[in-house]
Chains A and B, each alone.
Chain A
Amino acid sequence: AQKVTQAQTEISVVEKEDVTLDCVYETRDTTYYLFWYKQPPSGELVFLIRRNSFDEQNEISGRYSWNFQKSTSSFNFTITASQVVDSAVYFCAFQGDGGATNKLIFGTGTLLAVQP
Chain B
Amino acid sequence: GAGVSQTPSNKVTEKGKYVELRCDPISGHTALYWYRQSLGQGPEFLIYFQGTGAADDSGLPNDRFFAVRPEGSVSTLKIQRTERGDSAVYLCASSLTLDDEQFFGPGTRLTVL
Q: A35-B101, A44-B107, A47-B101 are in contact. Are A104 and B45 (CB under 8 A)?
A: yes
Complex Cα distance, B105 from A44, in Å, reads 6
Cβ proximity bits B88-101 to A, threshold 8 Å, 1 near / 0 not: 01010101001001
Q: Is the CB of A108 within 8 A of B31?
A: no
| 12 further A-B pairs in the complex, CB-CB below 8 A; given A37-B104, A103-B45, A106-B43 | A4-B42, A35-B101, A42-B106, A44-B106, A47-B103, A102-B31, A102-B33, A102-B95, A102-B98, A103-B56, A104-B35, A109-B40
Q: Is the CB of B42 within 8 A of A107?
A: yes
Q: Is the CB of B48 within 8 A of A102?
A: yes
A-side residues, CB < 8 A to B, are 4, 35, 37, 42-47, 50, 91, 93, 100-109
Q: Is the CB of B42 within 8 A of A103?
A: no
Could you say which of A42, A44, A47, A108 contacts B42, with CB atoms under 8 Å apart? A108
Q: Is the CB of B44 within 8 A of A106?
A: yes
* Nearest CB of A to B74, in Å: 19
Would you mind naming 17 contact pairs between A and B with Cβ atoms under 8 Å apart?
Answer: A35-B101, A37-B104, A43-B107, A44-B107, A45-B43, A45-B93, A50-B101, A91-B42, A101-B55, A102-B31, A103-B33, A103-B45, A103-B48, A104-B33, A104-B45, A106-B42, A106-B43
Chain A contact surface mostly: loop
Residues of A within 8 A of B101 (CB): 35, 47, 50
* Nearest CB of B to A107, in Å: 6
B-side residues, CB < 8 A to A, are 31, 33, 35, 40-45, 48, 55-56, 58-59, 89, 91, 93, 95, 98, 101-107
Residues of B within 8 A of A100 (CB): 56
Complex Cα distance, B91 from A98, in Å, reads 24
Residues of A within 8 A of B41 (CB): 108-109
Q: A101-B55, A103-B48, A107-B42 are in contact. Are A45 and B104 (CB under 8 A)?
A: yes
Complex Cα distance, B41 from A115, in Å, reads 23
Q: Is the CB of A105 within 8 A of B45?
A: yes
